[in-house]
Amino acid sequence: MIKSLRASLVRLLPALVALGVCHAQTPVQAPAKAAGRSLMWKATSSTNTVYLLGSIHVGDNSMYPLPPNVEAAFAASKVLAVEINIKSVDQSKIFKLVQDYGMYAGDETLATHISKETSAALDDFCSKNNVPRMVLDKMKPWVAAITVITFGFKAAGEDPSLGIDMHFLNEVKEPQRIEELETADFQMSILSSATEQEQLEMLNASLKQADKAKGMIQKLEQAYVAGDAESLEKLVREEESGPKSLMKKLLDDRNVTMTQRVEQYLKGKDPSFVVVGAGHIIGEKGIVKLLQDKGYHVERVTTDQK
């Protein structure tokens, strides 16, 4: 149990950070697939072209094949830029960081930090998922929350190996190169630096939404396949039950630094293909809008457009 949980935490952490912990949102009904729409944008400068593709970091086979023009834009690029290269993550290093920053030392346990109501909800979760409560007792609230989400994704049949970013990481061929916009250490630091109140809110939200994980991710995938940016934004932004202060760190603040990295590609000459969580690209505080505000021409690409 502990060994499999360790592997799941390492694989899911980047996905959860990138998704903005969107398990804490209430799903909305996604419409039927809209012809000619994709979640890819084309940004241009005087020297370069950069494609921006919104990603879902866990998925299933229903998301494939991707539109031909998306694959063509990737094939024509010299750089694949992702949030982190999951394939090169040092799992032992990440797990040590989890131990150092996400586990209680000595006699301190999670039970001493949570309310009776949260403890009861955690007991119920453990019972439903056949997880020994002792496995969670040494975890700080943010790690316990990720564990709850991990089991929710697993129950929904979601697989990190079928995420959009992993799809392209597996397709890279020389002379293409992979570059990271962030690091796994940085992504973890966001969650581990959360205040105890933020962590407790995150855990409570995770437990409340645990039974709804399957429906949420299905709606998310439906909206993604439909190219429905509006529904995706609602999934990420509306009715947030998690801590808004942490959500700002997970999405809005990171959008600013990611945009700065994309701007570096636009100032270069190597055609680039940037794959980040869809929640980072769309919306008034997303990368597309931030680039437009900087004066770059950014247009949405339709399925029949290159």
Q: 224 versus 165: which is more confidently predicted?
A: 165
Identify the weakest region by mean pLDDT among 93-107, 216-230, 237-251. Answer: 237-251
* Stretch 283-305: mean pLDDT: 92
Residue 93: inside a domain, yes or no? Answer: yes
Q: How far apart are CA 246 and CA 263, in angstroms?
A: 25
The pLDDT > 90 percentage for the chain reads 46
Whether residue 133 contacts residue 123, with contact meaning beta carbons closer than 8 Å, is answered with yes
Strand arrangement, sheet containing 177-180: 177-180, 79-82, 272-277, 49-55, 40-44, 297-301
Instruction: Let me know if residue 13 belongs to a domain.
Output: yes
| Domain membership flag for residue 217 | yes
Which amino acid does the sequence have at 299?
Answer: E
Q: Among the listed ranges 76-80, 110-114, 229-233, which one has the minimum average pLDDT value?
A: 229-233
List the beta bridge partners of residue 44.
Answer: 49, 297
- 211-228 burial: b if 16+ Cβ within 10 Å, else e: eebeebbbbbbbbbbbbb
Which range of residues forms the domain containing residue 252?
2-301
Does 5 have pLDDT greater than 60? no
Nearest Cα residue to 87 out of 16, 187, 180, 18: 180
Please indicate, yes or no, if residue 264 is contained in any of the structural domains.
yes
pLDDT of residue 1: 42
Q: State residue 14's pLDDT score.
A: 47
Position with higher pLDDT, 19 vs 209: 209
Between 34 and 151, name the one with better pLDDT.
Answer: 151
Residue 29 predicted with pLDDT over 50: no
Work out the pLDDT band at 305, boundaries 50, 70, 90.
low
Residue 183 has pLDDT above 50, yes or no: yes
**Residue 306 falls inside a structural domain:** no
Query: Is residue 239 assigned to a domain?
Result: yes
- The domain total for the chain is 1
Provide the H-helix boundaries in the chain: 2-18, 68-75, 91-102, 116-129, 133-137, 141-155, 164-169, 184-192, 196-209, 213-225, 229-237, 244-250, 252-266, 278-281, 287-293
The whole-number pLDDT of residue 304 equals 66
Say if residue 22's pLDDT is above 80: no
- Which tokens sit at 142? 């943010």
In the DSSP assignment, the letter for residue 76 is T
- 208-228 pLDDT, tens per residue? 888 777 777 778 778 888 888
Looking at residue 248, its pLDDT comes to 86
The two three-digit tokens of residue 245, written as one number: 């202060």
Does residue 27 register a pLDDT over 80?
no
Q: How confident is the model at residue 21 (pLDDT cuts 50, 70, 90)?
A: very low
Q: Is residue 133 part of a domain?
A: yes
Is 156's pLDDT higher than 80? no
In a domain, 97, yes or no: yes
User: What number is the average pLDDT over the span 248-253?
Assistant: 88
E strand or H helix that includes residue 243: none
Give the residue with greater pLDDT, 295 vs 100.
295
Checking if the pLDDT of 30 tops 70, the result is no
